[in-house]
Structure 1
Amino acid sequence: MTQTITPHPDPSGSAPRAYRCPEDGTRAPVEAAAPWCCPVCQGPWDLDFAAGAVEAKSLAGRAGSLWRYAEALPLEGPPPITLGEGRTPLVPLTDTVSAKLDFLMPTLSFKDRGAVVLAELARRLGPERVIADSSGNAGTSVAAYMARAGLPTTVYVPESTSPKKVEQIGAHGARVERVPGDREATARAARAAAGTPGTFYASHVFNPYFLHGTKTYVYELWEDLGGRLPGSIVVPVGNGTLLLGAALATAELYAHGLIPERPALVAVQAEAVSPLARAFHAGADAPADAAAADTLAEGIAIPNPPRGRQILRAVRESGGTFLTVTENQLRTAQHDLAARGLYVESTGVACWAAASASPEVLGGGDAVVPLCGAGVKTGLG
């Protein structure tokens, strides 16, 4: 049964917004006291928001950050906490494959796209404290942007998280809670703390504002390619924040007639932890059972992604597929990129590893891979 809670005005002062559960239709207002997940099924929220059309001719002279796509964002900006995130370079790797250098973002990962939107929402809602959980990069981004917002923040990380990432989180002033066990144990610990009154759970998985930040990755591709998108957009998938953001953006651009067709989304997982790839190829609608395992791609080693059903639907609807990469392929891709002058962390090379190993999946068309995190975060594998 659908539960409806009357939405309050959006904190930005613009049109009303409401959280909506994609599985059972439950709704809740976007306000400080809103539950961080659907109270019926405990699943992640989507956002009731109709993006406006971003006309290419209107972009000249706008802010050189992701806030230039104002019509497509659910918060008015640019906010005072911006660090100039977005507008990362697009460089060729082969005749048909280009790389978007999102490791050049302010905290050295693509997660800044979502974190700045999430932090601006938190700033406007005014909580007493902020909680986040992460395998490293999202926690770093949240710590940095919440520091800009002036909000005390605690980030929960697995005890196995790279020391360099832990150091970076702490350097931004956040308190770090290292949790024994795997990524799932870390998430459970953070969610238990998130229920405390006055707490904003800055979840890059459960809060849809994060996805509306990551979707700007595709808007930038569209702008940089002269009003078109590549035939394939290859993205790494653990919790799926970049893939689902890409799905939002391609749907919006297509709905406004700004692209003639939606590109295929090619999702990449580490072979060691690949519940979505296994489910996709088995024709299943939900992630397959998977156990935590050591992998160089620690950032996408998610055994039970909360948005798993959404991710599988998005890939299928785009006509895309799932690929997996081995530890040796990850290691080879990281060294290959370094030899080309691009020092990328071991998770961030997954898409280049996949595109290099399986070029036939791209169908002979052009493709873009993201290089999501800087190599200084983990070192060479």
Structure 2
Amino acid sequence: MVQPIINTVSNFDATEDHTFKYTYLGFESTVTTEMSIREDKPNSTAVYDGTWDSFDKIHVLQKNTLSNGHSYLAKLRVKIDDSHWSEWSAETTFMCFDKPHFTWEQIGDSKFIYTNQAKFSVIYTQAQSEPVEKYQFTLLDERHNTVNEYPVRVPDPLTPFRFTEDIGNLKKGKLYYLKCKVITKHDMIYETMEEFIPQYIVPTLSSIVQPKMIAEDGQVSILMLLKQILGTPAKPYVPNRATDSDYQYSYWKNDLVIIPKDNPLMFTRLGMAKASDFVAKVWCQNVGNGLMLDWMTRTDEKNPNGLGPKISFYKHNDYITAEKTFGKIKSRTRSNIISGLGRQPFYLYIKVQEYRIEMYIEKIPQK
């Protein structure tokens, strides 16, 4: 009589269902299988003995039937007819392990890192202290395409549960995913992935040159002042929507985002949304007269009513006016005049320094 053969069994987590696959070369058509599982100890008794009906050559073990941290032996036989079974297969061995827990040291709840190069570390913990033999990091872009696949590495014997990789050439404001795959001593394969956005400050030389006379030495010292600009793109969201994904917006010609009046577009953590000293370029089209932009900061993100300085932009037929409010102080200014602007496309350039607001409209030629 032909024996079934249990295919190679990978180690698994006993708190989840597991599907055993087998091969049977007998000419009989089989539907029912019986499996017996016992601990991998001399003279141990079965901890599981059950049947499973399927036209596929599988036997499904329900979750929590076994216990993690133990080694088991499994054998299987198939039912040939109403009263006959095949011989038992040879026993195959496997182990059950708890899934590990991974902690990313450099990536916090905010999902931001503040440099374009960093040594990323993952802390691995596992209930049975299953050691890791190899690990590998992979950097992915916002669409989960591979940017860089780093070499397979062996854990440091001094820190066997911390895995590190130097990741560089990160672009500011770009969404990345970093994946770490580990292979343990008993061939368990686990993966963890975390998203992050580099939000580092770019130093730039200002155009301010400050000469300083040093009379006693007969010299002039020239100082070039260093300033830092935080230019971090912000992710918009639509209030009252189940998701703030940008794919929830309506698009026109695969390029223009249509913003309905009943659901205005809002930005959070906008790098330039502060009281003063910022520049902005806004692309506009089909803008009617009246309030077109309303910018404000929050003194506390957890308190939506705790509002800080506010700037409102109003569209007119041929120009735009801006009004900045802070407490009881208001300042108003007007852009250049573009005759016949109407609802045509245009760029609005904005520069804010303290209470001084400068605006310039550049009309976009029609194609």
Shared fold (TM-score, shorter chain, > 0.5): no
More helix by share: 1
More strand by share: 2
Give the TM interval when normalised to the shorter protein. under 0.3
TM-score by length of 2: 0.26
| Higher RCO, Cα 8 Å, sep 6+ | 1
TM-score by length of 1: 0.25
